[in-house]
Amino acid sequence: MQALKIDEEIWQMFPEARFEVLVVKGINNQSKADEYYQELLDRAIEKSQKYIANDVFRDNPVVSEWRTAFTKFKKKKGARASIEALLKRVSQGKSLSPINPLVDIYNSISLEYGVPCGGEDLQKMDGTMHLGVAKGGESFRPLGSDEDEPALPGEVIYYDATGAICRCFNWREAQRTMLTEDTTDAVMVIEAINADQAQRAKSAIEKLKELVESKLNATGEHFTLQAQ
């Protein structure tokens, strides 16, 4: 079974898009080596400074490119690409604290390469995960919420047979498939919407695979999805 399928509407909206996908099996996500992962995040923050060199935050290419992309579909007010949220923290002088090894690794990769990156627990998935355009009303309970916040009609979402997994690409994560210390199998996705981002995403997925295999005793299978 393919871990991720891209619906045709996404290619019509973003013909240059490219999605680097890593299916990871046999993860040991129980590590308590917080010092290592804090150092990993701190180094990534240093490397990410080049993506926010312009004093006007919104004028930095990584930020402006994704903001333009988000104008092409319906979204909740305030929705931003996950990489913008990370870079915003960096621009404000804030640090990142370890969450769990797999999340820490993909956050560090996202910052180092200036690309959105996310991950889902394969064992909690209801069939194949898709990236497509919401019909509206797809069930979605975000992290930290006790209430359902359904997807909007026309919103770009990751979804499975049960409902939405992430809204507005990977802006907002669902509790249902979130990565935890008990996660053993996962699908990781790095998003790119133009050629420059795609080049960074290719390097990013290679580094991601290397880290999850060496640090989490896992095996990873990488594939790329792009318009035919």
Residue-wise pLDDT for 13-30, tens only, equals 999 999 999 999 999 998
* CATH for 4-226, options being 3.40.1110.10, 3.40.50.300, 3.50.40.10, 3.30.1600.10: 3.50.40.10
10-residue block means of pLDDT along the chain (228 residues)?
91 97 96 88 98 96 97 94 97 95 97 97 96 97 89 98 96 95 97 97 98 95 92
How many other CB atoms sit within 10 Å of the CB of residue 126? 13
**pLDDT on residue 32:** 75
Q: Which residues in 77-163 belong to E strands, given as ranges?
A: 117-121, 129-133, 156-159
Question: Strand 156-159's sheet: what is its strand order?
Answer: 4-6, 129-133, 156-159, 164-167, 172-173
**pLDDT on residue 105:** 97
Tell me the domain boundaries of the chain.
4-226
Q: Is there a contact between 222 and 18 (Cβ–Cβ < 8 Å)?
A: no
For 78, residues 6+ apart whose C-beta sits below 8 A from its C-beta are none
d(CA 109, CA 97): 15
Q: Is there a contact between 27 and 212 (Cβ–Cβ < 8 Å)?
A: yes
Which residues in 84-105 are b (16+ Cβ under 10 Å) and which e? bebbeebbeeeebebebbbbbb
